[in-house]
Structure 1
């Protein structure tokens, strides 16, 4: 496969996953914003900005931090490269460039999503409703993955799509866990702590999984273990790295050995770690270490497969 084609497929998947993750984070932020606060610091509203690293860009374009301004910035703004609109636009551009490598069902799912997104932007999110908009974004990415799984050849194209999805998903889970952990440290209100933990699990579709595996009330330690070390959860860090290792093995060849080595090293670290190993240096420090390793994997994949020779 040409490196350019692999790159388009990889980034198409990353942008689609990023759009879904942004919708999930906005959804839980919107729900938390409805809770009463004891001071005037909108800590929960800052979560999407901290996760995406767009605080400075937001401050330069919006005079006040409100849920309405966040929704505009992260859903519809063309100034924000991480907005849902921008992500779907870039995903469509990448898909259009490699349309011949996609099945008609996969292409139509992306094309229809982009057409509907442009219509929503013209009419405003209020035209469909905030909750309905978040559900729509998640449903469109689910449709894409269903069409991909059911119609694409089991070839390198599918592997690069899966790699993009898994890298973006692991990055989002780690960043969300880091920011939520900091908020829990800064706020000792037990009611807010409970709802923050619940919304964190909802953001990664893990609330039911938590109760199924732990059969107890939410705890910060249980949530950390679930999202990091339990491979039963599709969005856990271990599950994402394990699947990345599998996809790189399917691509094969010696060209990707540096990337495979990095993934195998991180997998071994996760697979044979305990929760105590993760918490001992501090969760924030451990997650920073993980994100550094993940960025190294992304760089290795880029150098091995996505750069033109």
Structure 2
């Protein structure tokens, strides 16, 4: 019987918090796509509007992504039981890995499209994000929580360890694009399961899966900073004033804590918290 273990599974602390945890990428991208749908370019003609719509559609494509299916078996009719277990675990691993990588490709396309619209003179998305960080350095109210922590975690994956090197959201975006580029150019190794002395097959690839997941999140957080800076500058505007919170959510209170909001929020305020899990409401 195939058995998988959880040893080595990489789950950053910002995804396991009781309140203000970072949402899973599939939830994150849904809220981000909703925000972009309710905003538009202020300055620019038909080309800029078309570019904005194209970026939105890439986010919608990422939002619609649910599963990626693989069958890694040879299917030669002569596979032993252990070999079948190996292929089954391998298929599951590759499905999860590629699901995150496909999403990464979609959100990267959205980011690059938004950069072309908002910063047509900039060739590298990370440069545009760096500009946004500089513009918003004094605006803690619009800074996405955990953005730098995601960049730090992704950088640690790239270097094999954490160190004292300063990171930024822009550097996280650059590293995320590097993760995607490695795969596109065939430079990333394909993980395979391992077996122990009892011939039980164990999943591996935890590092690769986590890096792909956090890379797509880093890109989306970069998009949020880019949009926040453009909103502050007046380059984009929100079309609908209020975002109705159906079930409420925790939001940072500005003093290191959190407060529960169960009413409408301004879309401009929602941009800074849309990537967080709603969480359970406080007990009455």
**Bin of the TM-score, shorter chain as denominator length:** 0.3 to 0.5
TM-score (norm 1): 0.31
| Bigger fraction of residues in helix | 1
Structure (1 or 2) with the greater strand fraction: 2
